[in-house]
Amino acid sequence: MNKIKIVIAGARGRMGKEAVYLTGRTEHFDLVGVLDHKHEGKKLSDLDGFTGYDVPIYTDIEKCFQTEKPDVLIDLTTPEFGYYHAKTALSYGVRPVVGTTGFTKENLQELEDLCEEMNRGCIIAPNFALGAVLMMKFSQIAAKYYQDVEIMEMHHDQKLDAPSGTAIKTAELMAEVRQAKNQGHPDEKETIPGARGADFDGMRIHSTRLPGLIAHQQVLFGAEGESLTIRHDSYNRVSFMSGVKLAVEEVLKVNVLVYGLENIME
């Protein structure tokens, strides 16, 4: 089997580091370079925590793609750079696997169009943890039967975007099947703005940020005399890596934008 040539953007970050280690322990993955906003000209192995990863660091994405000719770009950076990296990758025929969250609907549409134009696949997964994908699907099933639902997502306090990509994706999946309703009392008033959370199609999303947390979400359904809670917890970032591996393997088989791991999980 030919090895899959991979570039990682954001390799020094919390997720990027785990993705580097994933390539190190996966026989058919070949890390050929990393993208950073500093350390041009160095090797990744020059940096703490990356002994043995003797691959070049690039700050110029085009130079990186021209030199290394990767099959796949894994992006784990920020919304602004993630979007730019994914677009540039597609324009070079490189298939992006994007874990970066905070993309707008317009970003997604543009990437979908670019996939079609370039006849290349791109996978964007708001959450790579397989249990989180199941939590979203189970919530979608429950939303058929329960109109009243609120999403509570809880993340570490270094997270830049709110609500989380997972919460938005969960709301989108539920909105496909849920009978529309505005959550709460029709006359309710917030005495402190934001008290009722973000409004997505009448569903409320509450974002908690605390040190010590990693990534957690509970979807709470209520009906007369009962409630149903569907919850997922990631206790470390290794929990995301089986999803990253799957996405890298699957992105080579598609020529469209895939938004959400549920679309490629058997």
Ligand X SMILES: O=C(O)C1=N[C@H](C(=O)O)CCC1
The annotated binding site is made up of: 10-15, 38, 99-101, 125-128, 156, 165-166
Amino acid at 218: Q
Build a one-symbol-per-residue string for 59-88: x at contacts with ligand NAD by CB under 6 A, - elsewhere: -----------------xxx--x-------
Q: Supply 66's token pair.
A: 């021209």
What is the four-CA torsion angle of 151, 154, 159, 160, rounded to 10 degrees? 30
Is 137 among the catalytic positions? no
Considering 17, 39, 63, 159, which one is annotated as catalytic? 159
97 by DSSP, 3-state: which?
strand
Other Cβ atoms closer than 10 A to 195: 10
Judged on CB neighbours under 10 Å (0-12, 13-18, 19+), 194 is: exposed
101 near ligand X (CB under 6 A):
yes
- Candidates 9-17, 24-32, 88-96, 142-150; binding stretch for ligand NAD (CB under 6 A): 9-17
Report the binding-site residues for (S)-2,3,4,5-tetrahydrodipicolinate. 156, 165-166
**Could you say which residues in the range 238-257 bind ligand X, by CB under 6 A?**
none
166 near ligand X (CB under 6 A):
yes
Q: Measured from the CB of residue 48, what is the shortest distance to ligand X in angstroms?
A: 21
Of 76 and 152, nearer to ligand NAD (C-beta) is 76
Q: Supply 74's token pair.
A: 């894994």
Q: Supply 10's token pair.
A: 């954001």
Is 39 among the catalytic positions? no
The phi-psi region of residue 202 (left if phi > 0; otherwise alpha if psi is between -120 and 50; otherwise beta) is left
Residues of this chain that bind ligand X (CB under 6 A): 101, 126-127, 155, 159, 164-166, 215
Task: Provide the annotated active-site residues.
Answer: 155, 159
